[in-house]
């Protein structure tokens, strides 16, 4: 398959306008972007993975972009497993793994890091407050990690910021009713 494919795994607790913007921008760069929700072994999740995956699936369906696919079957708490599953399902040799700059220093400690860096190139999206430092770049080069630092500009919102400062304005419009009707992410700082 001679197409450019991005694999976008996220804990999406919940998916925000930031996730929406990333998906929209990736669809301008890649032939296909495959999104899924995973449980991050380093995080305590507010909502169950079934709820979070339903929210991301709803967001992707609402985008109505044939270049953005939702495939929860590639989900694993370990990136290496998701990468292998995606490559197997879509019969891929080349794959870019999308990661926020807030996680770049963590990859060196990921399960099977040495295997991951042979399987994918990282597409790093810069997040405000998380620059990619020169010492990190040196380590990436030392390990011969293939990567691109994106120029995509995303809103300064994350799932954790959303949960701290609950505001429906930080949710994609397609998710607001679902969150309201199911009393998800309840906060004492409820703002309409």
- 135-152 tens-digit pLDDT: 999 999 999 999 999 999
163 in any annotated domain: no
Give the domain extent around 151. Answer: 5-156
pLDDT band of residue 1 (cuts 50, 70, 90) is: very low
Q: How does the average pLDDT of the chain come out, rounded? A: 93
106 in any annotated domain: yes
34 in any annotated domain: yes
53 in any annotated domain: yes
Number of domains in the chain: 1
pLDDT band of residue 61 (cuts 50, 70, 90) is: very high
pLDDT > 70 fraction of the chain, expressed in percent and rounded: 96
- 66-119 tens-digit pLDDT: 999 999 999 999 999 999 999 999 999 999 999 999 999 999 999 999 999 999
pTM equals 0.93
Provide the angle, in degrees to the nearest 10, between the axes of the packed helices 17-29 and 49-63.
50
145 in any annotated domain: yes
- Cα–Cα distances in Å, from 81 out to 9, 49, 56, 73? 12, 17, 20, 11
187 in any annotated domain: no
16 in any annotated domain: yes
117 CB neighbour count, 10 Å cutoff: 20
What are the strands of the beta sheet with 121-125, ordered from one edge? Answer: 68-70, 32-37, 5-10, 96-100, 121-125, 147-149
User: CA-to-CA distance for 102 and 63, rounded, in angstroms?
Assistant: 26
User: pLDDT at position 41, please?
Assistant: 86
User: pLDDT at position 191, please?
Assistant: 46
96: CATH: 3.40.50.620
111 in any annotated domain: yes
- 151-168 tens-digit pLDDT: 999 999 999 999 998 899
């Amino acid at each position: 398959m001679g197409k450019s494919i991005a694999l976008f795994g996220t804990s999406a607790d919940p998916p925000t306008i930031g996730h929406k913007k990333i998906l929209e921008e990736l669809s301008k760069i890649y032939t296909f972007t495959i999104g899924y929700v995973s449980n991050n072994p380093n995080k305590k999740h507010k909502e169950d993975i079934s709820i979070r995956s339903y929210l991301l699936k709803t967001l992707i369906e609402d985008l109505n972009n044939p270049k953005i696919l939702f495939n929860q079957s590639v989900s694993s708490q370990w990136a290496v497993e998701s990468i292998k599953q995606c490559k197997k399902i879509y019969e891929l040799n080349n794959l870019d793994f999308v990661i926020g700059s807030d996680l770049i220093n963590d990859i060196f400690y990921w399960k099977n890091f040495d295997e991951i860096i042979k399987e994918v190139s990282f597409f790093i999206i810069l997040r405000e407050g998380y620059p990619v430092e020169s010492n990190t770049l040196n380590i990436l080069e030392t390990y011969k990690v293939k990567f691109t630092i994106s120029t995509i500009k995303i809103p300064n919102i994350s799932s954790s910021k959303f949960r701290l400062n609950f505001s429906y304005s930080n949710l994609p419009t397609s998710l607001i009713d679902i969150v309201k009707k199911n009393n998800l992410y309840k906060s004492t700082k409820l703002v309409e």
